[in-house]
Amino acid sequence: MDSENKVNNKQILVGHEKFVEMISAEQIRARIVELGKQITEDYKAKLPIFISVLNGSFMFLSDLIKEVDLHCEIDFIKLSSYGDQKISSGKVKTLKELNADISERHVIIVEDIVDTGLSISYLEKLLKEHNPASTKVASLLVKPESLKYDIKVDYVGFEIPNKFVIGYGLDYAQKYRNLSSIYVLSE
Ligand code: IMP
């Protein structure tokens, strides 16, 4: 990242917009340890398959599965929704299909953030066609105020206000995914 974009560790300037740290790397780490323990407990004697929704959830997936003390598998699916904008386009397309056979498997969908719930709702319908034994959802972030679809997030990292965030996998026009904390657009 250009050094002039980073005012200090707590603030990022993106053109005229300022992002401030909302959830630190330490807070994220601590919460993921808790989620990992919960998943380990819930899936004892099972072989779950984590399905990571690209691109945003790659970092969460990577840290989460290290905290899961079970054999598990992973696969990736890529959906489109936001394009390069800060608001959802309202439509979802599959850009990369699953490779694994998930029939009779215990699936845990891994998302970076649930905003309107459109992507999860689309994905749950899609996965159901492959007859998984069960499907649960883990999302690092959830914006409860902007939920519009009838979905349930079983493992929630943090609930956040309806504001645009970047970092820890989340992008703004494909950049800023490599920040280790979550930053929120300041008014
Ligand atoms: P939903 O389908 O409306 O729930 O939106 C989910 C997807 O939108 C996420 O997987 C993200 O890619 C993107 N998204 C939603 N809110 C944000 C945000 O605040 N920052 C970056 N991406 C976001």
Residues 6+ apart with CB under 8 A from 30: none
- Burial class of residue 110 in the structure, from the number of CB atoms within 10 Å of its CB (0-12 exposed, 13-18 middle, 19+ buried): buried
Domains of the chain by start residue, with CATH = 24-161 (3.40.50.2020)
Q: What's the gap in Å between 140 CA and the centre of ligand 1?
A: 11
| Cα–Cα distance for residue pair 94/91, rounded to 1 Å | 10
The pLDDT, as a whole number, for residue 15 is 85
Verify whether residue 115 is a known catalytic residue.
Answer: yes
Catalytically annotated residue among 115, 150, 154, 171:
115
In degrees rounded to 5, what are phi and psi of residue 161? -65, 170
Q: What's the gap in Å between 115 CA and the centre of ligand 1?
A: 5
The pLDDT, as a whole number, for residue 14 is 86
Q: Which amino acid is at 153?
A: V
Residue nearest ligand 1's atom 10 by CA: 113
Return the ligand 1 atom nearest residue 79 CA: 10
Which pTM does this prediction carry? 0.93
Q: What is the mean pLDDT of each run of 10 residues along the chain (187 residues)?
A: 65 91 97 98 97 96 98 95 60 91 97 96 95 98 96 98 96 93 93
The pLDDT, as a whole number, for residue 53 is 96
